[in-house]
Amino acid sequence: MENQTEQQIAGDLSNEAQAMAKKVTIIQNQETMLTKEFVEQAGKQIELRSKLLILGLKALKLHDFQDFDGKPYLEGEGAARIMAVVRGFKVGEAKFVVENITPHYFVECGIPMEFMGATTVAIGDCSTADGFFTGKEGNAGRYGKYMAQTGSEIMAARLLLGDAKKKARENAISRGVCELLGLKGLSWDDLALLGFTRGQAGAKINFKQGSQGAEVKTLTVSEALQAARGSVVNIRGEAVDCKERSVKTQKGMTSITDYTLVDGPDKIKISKWGNTIEGLREGLTCFAEKVTVGEYQGNKQFLAAEITIVESEVTDGIPDANA
């Protein structure tokens, strides 16, 4: 019976895997048991991967890590340096999802990656609403540069989209390298033991909800329901209902619309001054921007500065900013 079980296992494996299986597999009472040799080989793999990780880190410069809201984040240039030294990474074709939330683009990039038999689909994202692209006042940065070069808002936005796609791809590769090499989840204390300190980070990025000029986090409906009162967030969800009403203000009777968004079983009502947005229908994805979390009679209230319908497009390949 034991021989039959061994043959059944071996029949599903390649010749190379069969040879390995004979070394590491023991069949006892119809159950597969681990051997001491298998455990020792696993231990050697851990040791070798640790040495490989240290080798990859030696290729980095001190500024290749960012202080990203208190956590180390490997820049794209740093990931490229690691891949140049540690050979064997396989990078597949990039696929992009672009969402146009006027006047900005939100780009997500997915790339299949492989290293030493381990695989992942690395996800990177980027937004043209980032201060790097727009400047603090919304008319400087890369956008201002392209406006000066082309004299056209449409061309400037198109060039900006190309930059955002490249940055999203760069972020995806960085995350893939970190995950496959074992860098993901390392703290500043861990990196300090390897010679990288927080004070030497290339950049420092902090997120402060509700502060003027700071990044505003985008939350799901369920996350938004847990947001602290007084915070300012963005909320994304699927529209299921909207009701327009009039309320009395100092300016007289003013229109306000209540939008109901859902995400799975979770539901939230977000209000915005003004009439119902044009083209809204049930099932469309909406983006509520700069939502202030307040309170009235003990219940949370959500008031958005803007609500827009998300338009999506899926593209393949690596973009050309000059296309």
Q: Is the pLDDT of residue 317 over 60?
A: no
Which residues have CB under 8 Å from 259's CB, separation 6+? 239, 241, 242, 269, 270, 271, 272, 286, 288, 304, 307
* pLDDT at 8 (0 to 100): 46
More confident residue, 5 or 119: 119
Residue 175 is predicted with a pLDDT of: 92
pLDDT at residue 19, rounded to an integer: 52
Cα–Cα distance list, 83 to 42, 45, 53, 76, 169 (Å): 24, 20, 11, 11, 15
pLDDT band at 202 (very low <50, low <70, confident <90, very high): low
User: Which has more pLDDT, 257 or 48?
Assistant: 257
User: CA neighbours within 13 Å on the CB side: how many for 188?
Assistant: 14
Listed by start position, the domains of the chain span 2-56, 62-206, 218-311
How far apart CA 289 and CA 28 sit, in angstroms, is: 61
Comparison of pLDDT for 94 and 252, the residue scoring more: 94
CA 113/CA 181 separation, integer angstroms:
11
Q: C-alpha 1: how far from its chain's center?
A: 51
pTM of the full predicted structure? 0.53
Strands 104-115 and 118-127: antiparallel
Higher per-residue pLDDT: 259 or 206 = 259
- What does the pLDDT read at residue 322? 43
What's the pLDDT score for residue 267?
Answer: 93
Tell me: pLDDT of 57 over 50: yes
Whole-number pLDDT of residue 144: 78
Q: Name the percent of the chain lying above pLDDT 70.
A: 76
Residue 4 has pLDDT above 50, yes or no: no
Two tokens, residue 158: 């198109």
81 neighbors 62 (Cβ within 8 angstroms): no
Q: What is the pLDDT, as a whole number, of residue 29?
A: 53
CATH classification number, 218-311, choose in 3.40.47.10, 2.40.50.140, 3.10.129.10, 3.30.565.10: 2.40.50.140
Side-chain half-sphere exposure of 90, counting CA atoms within 13 A: 9
Write the pLDDT tens digit of every residue in 214-226.
457 888 898 889 8
Q: Under DSSP, is residue 213 helix (H, G, I), strand (E, B) or coil?
A: coil
- Span 251-256, average pLDDT: 86
List the structure tokens of 179. Answer: 């995950």
Give the integer Cα–Cα distance in Å for 287 and 310: 6
| pLDDT at residue number 33 | 65
pLDDT tens sequence across 282-293: 989 898 998 998
Q: Which of 38 and 90 is assigned the larger pLDDT? A: 90
When mean pLDDT is compared over 22-36, 43-57, 296-310, the highest value belongs to 296-310
pLDDT band at 1 (very low <50, low <70, confident <90, very high): very low
Indicate if the pLDDT at residue 132 is higher than 80: no
Give the confidence band of 212 by pLDDT, cuts at 50, 70, 90. very low
What's the full length of the chain, in residues? 323
